[in-house]
Amino acid sequence: MQDFVCLLIDDDFDDHEIFAIALNDADKTYKCVTAKNGVDALEKLNTDETFIPDYIFLDLNMPRKTGQECLVEIRRNDKFKNLPVIIYSTSLDMVDVLYEKGAHYYIRKPAEFSHLKKVILKAITAISENQERPSKENFIIQP
C-alpha cells in the first residue's frame, strides 16, 4: 500500500500534533510532514529534489512569510504549480483572493477533532476523485 504525504505548513505546533493525529485517524496511508512557516516550507520544497508532497495544507497567518505569500511562490514553481494546496486557517478572510491565486480548497480550522478528520478526508477525497480545481462555489469545505 502506497503512503501519501501531506505537508502541513503552520506556525502552531499544537496544530501540527492535532492535524497529524486526525490525518492518521482518517486514513493510515497518509503521512504528515510539517513546516513551521512559509520560509521553512519553501526551503523543504526547493532543497530536497525528491520531496514532493501529495497535498499541502497551508495556514494563512504565520510569521516570516504568510500563507498567501507562500501560495504565490508555490504556484510560481513549475514543479509545484499543480500540487493541491488546501488553505487551513482559523478565519475565512481572503477566500476569493486565495481561490484566484490557485488554492484548491479552503478549510476553516474546526474546533472539534471529529470535524477536523471529516474536513481533511473530504478535501483529500475530492482532490483524488477530481484532479481539476473546484468551482468557486465549492471552494470552502465544511464538516
Alpha-carbon distance of 141 to 119, in angstroms, equals 6
**Neighbour count for residue 75 (Cβ, 10 Å):** 16
pLDDT, position 136: 85
pLDDT, position 95: 87
Strands 30-35 and 4-9: parallel
pLDDT confidence bin for 82, thresholds 50/70/90:
confident
CATH class entry, domain 4-141: alpha beta
pLDDT one-digit tens code per residue, 97-126 = 899 999 999 999 998 998 999 999 999 998
pLDDT one-digit tens code per residue, 13-54 = 999 999 999 999 988 889 999 999 999 999 999 998 888 999
